[in-house]
């Protein structure tokens, strides 16, 4: 199967966006702006967006969706062909209630989230559901009600987890590409998840613990070295779990981060606003997986412990 599918689109997909924040607002917004049938689930922004629409300021071009299919709960939404789950993993327990009204017999749910074993966790509650995972390589923030700012990058990689959905995922990739979003199909979802962890584990955690940005981490020699060490530790864990990631992938990640615009990762913003941190999916799950395969990530474990201390201090 080719990495990017460029066949003719045979049917028009109906999309649901669950979690219209930095990711859902951008990716769903780009799909809707290109003319796709997209339905957005909002929480606190619902009333504002109904009156004012969704605004996306992007390095690829700004746009404003004035007339948007906005909903406050999924009971009001139509059944969709594709559900893009863009919630933080700390909210995934709510999917048991959120998803059923959106599903028909062929619906594919794509988990656009960071971390490991996210799809397997969903499959416990929905054993017969068509499920895929997506890795977003993007710098994007929600800066206000109905207002998304896309700073850099934007590629999305999608891989199948369970169900006969490879052809559908290919069409989703086509829709993204036609919407000016780089997209590709992953033949190995597990590998893609570990590759994303090579970036997420050092930058998300260190930006919180050191109260800094990716730019500052890369500028200082000692933190640059620490980021590099953490990346190699993640690659070692991946290898123990049967995933081969070439060592030159570290250089590629360091180089791309050095040239990106100054950025505060999603976990840093959660810390700033005293929201729950995605410790479980990004740190605990990989640590357990690696340890069960005989590999200890000592530096990652220390970072996880520091993050847990910080989160537990919120109420003090």
Task: Express each pLDDT in 170-219 by its tens digit.
Answer: 999 999 999 999 999 999 999 999 999 999 999 999 999 999 999 999 99
Task: In whole angstroms, give the CA distance from residue 31 to residue 180.
Answer: 9
Give yes or no for residue 133 having a pLDDT over 60: yes
Where in the chain do CATH 1.10.1040.10 domains reside?
A: 192-312
Give yes or no for residue 6 having a pLDDT over 60: no
Give yes or no for residue 20 having a pLDDT over 80: yes
What are 234-268's pLDDT values in tens digits? 999 999 999 999 999 999 999 999 999 889 999 99
pLDDT, residue 7, reads 41
pLDDT, residue 11, reads 77
Catalytic residue among 55, 196, 261, 268: 196
Where in the chain do CATH 3.40.50.720 domains reside?
A: 14-187
Q: At 137, phi and psi to the nearest 5? A: -100, 90
Give yes or no for residue 1 having a pLDDT over 50: no
pLDDT, residue 316, reads 64
Report, as an integer, the average pLDDT of 57-63.
Answer: 96
Determine the CATH number of domain 192-312: 1.10.1040.10
Q: Does domain 14-187 have CATH number 3.40.50.720?
A: yes
Task: In whole angstroms, give the CA distance from residue 54 to residue 148.
Answer: 8
Closest CA to 107 of 77, 74, 75, 82: 82
Which of 5-9, 92-96, 157-161, 207-211 is the least confident region? 5-9
Verify whether residue 155 is a known catalytic residue: no
Q: How confident is the model at residue 315 (pLDDT cuts 50, 70, 90)?
A: confident
Q: Express as a percent the part of the chain with pLDDT over 90.
A: 94
First to last CA, the chain: 53
Average pLDDT of every residue of the chain: 95
Which ranges constitute the DSSP H helices of the chain?
A: 22-33, 46-52, 95-98, 118-125, 166-178, 189-209, 214-219, 221-240, 248-259, 266-272, 279, 285-292, 298-312
What does 6-62 look like in DSSP terms, one character per residue? -PPP-SPPEEEEE--SHHHHHHHHHHHHTT-EEEEE-STTHHHHHHH-EEEEETT--
Task: In whole angstroms, give the CA distance from residue 160 to residue 97.
Answer: 23
What are 135-145's pLDDT values in tens digits? 999 999 999 99
pLDDT, residue 105, reads 97
Q: How confident is the model at residue 8 (pLDDT cuts 50, 70, 90)?
A: very low
Indicate yes or no: pTM above 0.85.
yes
Q: How confident is the model at residue 10 (pLDDT cuts 50, 70, 90)?
A: low
Give yes or no for residue 3 having a pLDDT over 70: no
């Amino acid at each position: 199967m080719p990495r990017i599918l460029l066949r003719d689109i045979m049917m028009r997909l109906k999309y649901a966006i669950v979690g219209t924040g930095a990711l859902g607002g951008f990716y769903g917004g780009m799909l809707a702006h290109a003319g796709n049938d997209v339905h957005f689930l909002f929480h606190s922004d619902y009333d504002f967006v109904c009156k004012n629409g969704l605004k996306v300021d992007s390095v690829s071009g700004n746009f404003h969706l004035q007339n948007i299919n906005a909903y406050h709960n999924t009971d009001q939404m139509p059944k969709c062909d594709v559900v893009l789950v863009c919630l933080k993993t700390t909210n995934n327990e709510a999917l048991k209630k959120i998803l059923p009204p959106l599903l028909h017999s062929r619906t594919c749910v794509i988990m656009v989230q960071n971390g490991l074993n996210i799809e397997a966790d969903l499959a416990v509650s929905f054993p017969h559901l068509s499920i895929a995972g997506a890795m977003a390589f993007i710098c994007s923030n929600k800066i206000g009600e109905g207002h998304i700012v896309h700073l850099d990058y934007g590629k999305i990689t999608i891989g199948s987890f369970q169900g006969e959905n490879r052809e559908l995922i290919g069409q989703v990739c086509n829709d993204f590409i036609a919407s000016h979003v780089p997209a590709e199909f992953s033949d190995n979802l597990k590998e893609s998840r570990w590759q994303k962890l090579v970036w997420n584990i050092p930058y998300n955690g260190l930006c919180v613990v050191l109260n800094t940005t990716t730019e500052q981490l890369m500028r200082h020699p000692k933190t640059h070295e620490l980021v590099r060490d953490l990346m190699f530790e993640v690659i070692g864990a991946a290898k123990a779990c049967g995933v081969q990631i070439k060592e030159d992938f570290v250089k590629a990640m360091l180089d791309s981060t050095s040239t990106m615009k100054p950025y505060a990762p999603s976990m840093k913003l959660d810390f700033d606003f005293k929201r729950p941190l995605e410790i479980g999916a990004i740190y605990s799950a990989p640590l357990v997986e690696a340890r069960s395969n005989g590999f200890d990530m000592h530096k990652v474990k220390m970072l996880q412990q520091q993050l847990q201390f910080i989160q537990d201090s919120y109420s003090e």
